[in-house]
Amino acid sequence: MAEIYIGEEDYRSFEDKTFGDYLEQRYPELYAKALAVKFASEKKDLSARIPGPGKIEVLTFETEEGREIFWHSSAHILAQAIKRLYPDAKFDDGPALKHGPGHFFYDIYLEHKISEDDFPRIEEEIAKIVKEDLPLKRRTMSRQEALAYFQQKGEIFKVDILKRLSDNTEISLYRQGEFEDLCRGPHIPSTGKAGVFKLTAVSGAYWKGDAANPMLQRVYGVSFPTQEELEKYLAKLEEARKRDHRKLGQELKLFLFVEEGPGFPFYLPRGTVLFNTLCEYIREECVKRGYVEIRTPIMLSQDLWVRSGHYENYREHMYFSEVEKKGFAIKPMNCPGSILVYQSELRSYRDLPLRQAELGLVHRHELSGVLHGLFRVRSFTQDDAHIYCTYEQLEGEIEKAISFTKEVYERFGFKNILVYLATRPEKSMGSEEAWQKATQALIKALAKTGTAYQVKEGEGAFYGPKIEFNIEDALERHWQCGTIQVDFNLPERFALEYIGPDGKKHQPVMIHRAILGSLERFMAILLEHYNGKLPLWLSPVQVKILTISQEQLVYAQEVLQELRKAEIRCELDDSNEKISYKIRQWNAEKINYAVIIGRKEAAEKLISVRSRGHQETETMPLEQFLEKLRAEIAQKNCVN
């Protein structure tokens, strides 16, 4: 970022001038790129008067704050274009974005339904506005004046925004040509600096984000200073589209969705291997840390869910059924089942902490509109666990769970992990004191493990506060995976107890935790993260044997048997095709290794090995290849 100091003397000669004037004279090259400035940690328009000597930070498209201003101004230009084409459009809000389907959007009320077919017309009008190079002029007025002004223009949404502001706020407006918008600013100096645009999406958005409110139309767009940058962005989008796990899942034959089961994934043979491999990994890691594993039924009596509070607090996400006039529910969570296992024996303090893991299949009714490949489904398997411990053990157990979680993410190569602390929601049960204690325990453990986190107010589970772990995928999207929750409520509701050293009954505390979260979601993240090129230990098919001609079939079968005996996941391509065709197929399947067998290899009882992403082959005895595979699998290396 360019920083400039305007000294006492210099300032005197620019006393009545603007930042723009100053830059234009002193730093013409920088002026050409400047969008706005930051002075005394306040963002200002270039047309703002210099208030005094000091540091000026010049905001250009190269800076994050500069881009935000650029895109915010883009939203204004979008609105202006729409107003020109549809004069009865009313505008709500049009901010810049950090993530999502565009750099900016504008929420609009308009009778005409804007469709993608309208985009070219709107884009054309935007280009005209950019070409007109209209200066953006700021003016201020009182809130009362602004209210009257927008009322008279019929901009009812702007009026609503103004009504929510306090009375002594100074209101600023920005005008570009015939279009004027309520806005805090700052903005780029003129529409000529806005560059090239592309509209990317149109959809509905609830007014003020409330589902009870009517819907506005939200038009999304992207913009860049130059055409090249726009094209580069579009190419990146295309790359992301190719990485979509839904597409990879189909191409690699991993999983399937059918009309008969919306949101209920089917695992194909290869996807099942991946699923099972992840389960095995989690099991091993749990065993190392003193967990025991249980399995509980998918369907349990409705009374149980009433007792646990799910019926009261979670009903809209549950599936119900009736058998012999008795109500049943399919489990949306594993905790009540786990509790019944805890209660099956009289527990002693010597049994605690009891770490009870379950790879549990849960069903949750999700609204149809939120389903999204494996990221968002209606039935999924959680790598769940419930830890029953004494109050004294609580913090230590949370700390262990935090480091366990971090270790697992590291294994898969996820570097960026965001942690949140979600506190008591409105719809929840239990005493305020229990919530306080539980939340404090989480905070202490976070501090002790040196975990940076942000607070999500009111986003906890209905029975307790939670730590949420989000990992960042290759497309820089964040996905919630792991969670650690402290629960005083379910032990209370189910009257859980253990016999203490004093021979008396005490109530244990419960920790709910999941690391991968949903195996389905985690698989999807892995697929996008690795672009379908799974590391060897996770690959459904690790090796494919390709014969040069039918002559080598017998030897190829022998090699296949040997590899399978060594528990290598292996397939043989015995089709009557040329080797180049088989290589092409092998590559498309993203299988880690190809073993190529021709006349030479068969004669010498050797194999030729080619690895994914490489052109060269290496000829070796089968045993040597097996050693190499064993070593690589044992490493569970996830760096490609």
Among positions 589-608, residues that touch RNA (CB under 7 A) are 594, 596, 598-601, 608
Part in contact with RNA (CB under 7 A); list of ranges 163-171, 178-186, 230-238, 543-551: 543-551
For RNA, the closer CB: 23 or 484: 484
Residues 335-374 that bind RNA (CB under 7 A): 364, 366-373
For the CB of residue 625, give the shortest distance to RNA in the complex, in Å.
Answer: 14
588: left (phi over 0), alpha (psi -120 to 50) or beta: alpha
Separation CA 332–CA 311 (nearest Å): 11
Separation CA 463–CA 311 (nearest Å): 12
Q: What is the DSSP string of 151-198?
A: HHHT-HHHHHHHHTS-TTPPEEEEEETTEEEE------SBGGGS-EEE
Q: According to CB under 7 A, which one of 617, 620, 628, 632 is a site residue for RNA? A: 617
33 binds RNA (CB under 7 A): no
For the CB of residue 604, give the shortest distance to RNA in the complex, in Å.
Answer: 10
Q: List residues bridging with 4 in a β-sheet.
A: 56
312 binds RNA (CB under 7 A): no
515, two tokens: 């690391």
262 binds RNA (CB under 7 A): yes
What is the b/e burial string over 356-379, where b = at least 16 CB atoms within 10 angstroms of the residue's CB? Answer: bbbbbebbbebeeeeeebbbbbbb
570-573 and 543-547 strand pairing: parallel
Known active-site residue 466: yes
Known active-site residue 364: yes
Q: According to CB under 7 A, which one of 141, 165, 205, 499 is a site residue for RNA? A: 205
Q: According to CB under 7 A, which one of 550, 561, 635, 640 is a site residue for RNA? A: 550
Nearest to 210 by CA among 92, 82, 368: 92
For RNA, the closer CB: 208 or 289: 208
Binding letters toward RNA, positions 90-109, x by CB under 7 A: ----------xx--------
Q: According to CB under 7 A, which one of 3, 9, 111, 259 is a site residue for RNA? A: 259
CA distances 437 to 185, 388, 420, 488, Å, are 44, 16, 18, 9
Binding letters toward RNA, positions 504-533, x by CB under 7 A: ----------x--xx-xx------------
What is the b/e burial string over 501-534, where b = at least 16 CB atoms within 10 angstroms of the residue's CB? Answer: eeeeebebbbbbbbbbbbbbbbbbbbbbbbebbb
Separation CA 184–CA 161 (nearest Å): 12
DSSP 92: -
Known active-site residue 286: no
Q: Cis check for the bond before 353: say yes or no (omega within 30 of 0).
A: yes
Residues 106-145 that bind RNA (CB under 7 A): 113, 115-116
Known active-site residue 512: yes
Nearest to 32 by CA among 10, 61, 7: 61
For RNA, the closer CB: 129 or 510: 510
For RNA, the closer CB: 295 or 578: 578
Residue 503 neighbours by CB under 8 Å, 6+ apart:
none
480 binds RNA (CB under 7 A): yes
184 binds RNA (CB under 7 A): no
For RNA, the closer CB: 46 or 516: 516
For RNA, the closer CB: 45 or 473: 473
Active-site entry in 43, 158, 187, 386: 386
Active-site entry in 382, 393, 485, 552: 382
Known active-site residue 574: no
For the CB of residue 117, give the shortest distance to RNA in the complex, in Å.
Answer: 8
380 binds RNA (CB under 7 A): yes
For RNA, the closer CB: 23 or 602: 602
- Total residues contacting RNA by CB under 7 A comes to 75
Catalytic residues: 335, 364, 382, 384, 386, 466, 512
